[in-house]
Structure 1
């Protein structure tokens, strides 16, 4: 049976053998084009063209539910095979899932009727949650059930956005996007808390991995989930000192974890410092939002972009760079020039968070240029890996 399964697996075109391949490639290409497209629209370049809900609604939704969820899908549907010991989605089924994701992206961009767009959008989210839930349930792996819960809550947040789009209610759309954003932050904290100490220990050849503080991990998950629920309910859109304390506590918890994980050796390993720096941006976002809720900052947008660009985007780039190497049978050594992608990405985050409030247009273009160049470097170096068979001859 193993020989038959192996032959069957090797008969699938490499791009469709595991979910990380199409989703990492499509997600990175989509994001490197979408950000400059949005900045050009913000600068007034597209007068006669409006996506569903307008350009602002498109940008808010697509960078989260389009780009980030593509990477989440690729990562989880690949990792679940390792977690459960069961084959994950591949071949025609994987192709159909990727086409569903692409149809939803094109539907938003070219303004499909809202009813059809909703079916495409929520269909992708529900299918992803269902696939994960079925594979985990088959082996009763309760430890990872919270991931399915987060995916279902993400689907609910997306449904809130779609309801806002249908009603023409921008506030409702914003509530759904912010709720979804903090759910992704919860997922980042959950997955990051597992893999970053492990990657650090393995990458530096240390004998022992830093053990998790279980109550802290649970508290961060619950606290970040609470932030998502409050945003979904519209209760976190205006300054509130109590929420400031909550954000301060979440930021402090993540900072404590980073200090525990820190090892001076990471400074010479881009695959490691990029992960740690991405989580540091999450601390910056939480502290900035705490200051906004305390009335000490005039706007929340820079802090939110510390989360979206610096932390979420930075963690995505660092993770897909490492995961692609490992799952294509290559040593964990960055291709030439890719370390500059990490540098560019973080420079872009600095521009978006700190320069845009002072020089809006110049800061946005600088941030967008750094973002797109970083993702273009990834696509250039990694597309051949994602579209070709593993170098060690194994399936996957």
Structure 2
């Protein structure tokens, strides 16, 4: 707060005072709408309009680059202010970036593939450049890998959208699978910092579990390399040596989770939701290892364990906590919000496990639970995001 011009900051509309406000709001709205639309289209129901490349291309892209991309942008553009001691993006510059994100979403119905590519790439390029500039000014090399992951996400998005333009399903799969594992890399990078920190603060522990730097780097580099192997298409075919790589990731993330565990977790929803989301990442890595070893017949369940339970779960948990802290409110969940965490994890269970026994009903239940979880976030938190901080400070 000390690094902001309070008078100028307070003249800015609340929704544009920091990146988390518009991007958490819009990203959650997309999450709540995208899954029901996809399930309806999948079931052959008539849905207004037809996105470029068809509904499968839209579904693949928007849940990773649209939804997760918005939340990542909102978190990073807010956190970088604390990391660097310099003001984060706000006001008109933030409004421009939000407009680009919205244009990228609407471009699916424009009939103009070039607009779709330009708008989406401009968004990731904008976020990466803002982050790079702020980090470079203070020479904060610790966070340079974040910019590298953003640049790789831009490349994965380009591959995916070229696949849409050329009607090349292979390029689309390569790009979206690469992006999913790049988001997993970001999940490991950011989660590896905030989960033990939030746990220590939330439970009032004196000391935080100290990171193993060698493990942090190993997990980041290995996950980024696996993303690149998906981009080339190599990792889309089962290989036993990739099974070993995913088994190593399972072990590494599992070691982290065990080290972070505290007996007090079950009584604090803001904490067990974070740890459970990370456990889904461990499960996804294990599932990928089993598929590459030929034990599982499909990688789909592992993919959805990561995207719904891991990425979706961590996003919802981070949204719930960050939105409270950065709007000047106590870290106490709105009444009944724990239900949102329960619903999202039930949705993951139905999509990952239930579809093996009860396919159609499980798809619908997973979609309903996911939608209700993010709808509850919007109901409880949208007013906070659109209003000034409760403590009267800027931000």
- TM tier, shorter chain? over 0.9
- Partner residue in 2 for 1:95: 95
* Cα offset, 1:48, TM superposition: 7.4
* Cα offset, 1:163, TM superposition: 1.5
Between the aligned partners of 1:356 and 1:90, the Cα distance in structure 2 is 43
- Partner residue in 2 for 1:215: 214
The C-alpha deviation readout for 1:38-82, integer Å capped at 9, x for no partner, is 000000012774211111111010000000000000000000000
Between the aligned partners of 1:43 and 1:4, the Cα distance in structure 2 is 51
Between the aligned partners of 2:378 and 2:202, the Cα distance in structure 1 is 24
TM-score of the superposition, structure 2-length normalised? 0.98
Between the aligned partners of 2:356 and 2:127, the Cα distance in structure 1 is 37
* Cα offset, 1:153, TM superposition: 0.5
SS in 1 for 2:173: helix
- Partner residue in 1 for 2:315: 316
SS in 2 for 1:236: helix
Between the aligned partners of 1:121 and 1:146, the Cα distance in structure 2 is 21
- Partner residue in 2 for 1:349: 348
* Cα offset, 1:4, TM superposition: 9.0
1:337–1:377 contact (8 Å) kept in structure 2: no
Between the aligned partners of 1:80 and 1:40, the Cα distance in structure 2 is 39
Between the aligned partners of 1:175 and 1:182, the Cα distance in structure 2 is 11
When the two structures are aligned, how many residues end up with a matched partner?
394
- Partner residue in 2 for 1:330: 329
- Partner residue in 2 for 1:159: 158
The C-alpha deviation readout for 1:263-310, integer Å capped at 9, x for no partner, is 010100000000000000001101111111111111110110000000
- Partner residue in 1 for 2:275: 276
1:50–1:111 contact (8 Å) kept in structure 2: no
1:274–1:342 contact (8 Å) kept in structure 2: yes
* Cα offset, 1:226, TM superposition: 1.1
TM-score of the superposition, structure 1-length normalised? 0.98
For structure 2, which runs of at least 5 residues remain unmatched after alignment?
none
* Cα offset, 1:356, TM superposition: 1.6
* Cα offset, 1:99, TM superposition: 1.1
Between the aligned partners of 1:296 and 1:313, the Cα distance in structure 2 is 26
Which consecutive aligned stretches of 4+ in structure 1 deviate over 6 angstroms post-superposition?
A: none
1:179 aligns with 2:178: yes
- Partner residue in 1 for 2:389: 390
* Cα offset, 1:111, TM superposition: 4.3
Between the aligned partners of 2:361 and 2:37, the Cα distance in structure 1 is 15
For structure 1, which runs of at least 5 residues remain unmatched after alignment?
none
- Partner residue in 1 for 2:233: 234
SS in 2 for 1:209: coil
Between the aligned partners of 2:196 and 2:283, the Cα distance in structure 1 is 20
Between the aligned partners of 1:395 and 1:355, the Cα distance in structure 2 is 46
2:277–2:310 contact (8 Å) kept in structure 1: yes
Between the aligned partners of 1:358 and 1:61, the Cα distance in structure 2 is 28
- Partner residue in 2 for 1:6: 6
C-alpha root-mean-square deviation of aligned residues, in Å?
1.2
1:1-396 superposed matches below 5 A: 5-46=5-46, 49-108=49-108, 110-396=109-395
* Cα offset, 1:238, TM superposition: 1.2
* Cα offset, 1:359, TM superposition: 2.1
* Cα offset, 1:5, TM superposition: 1.8
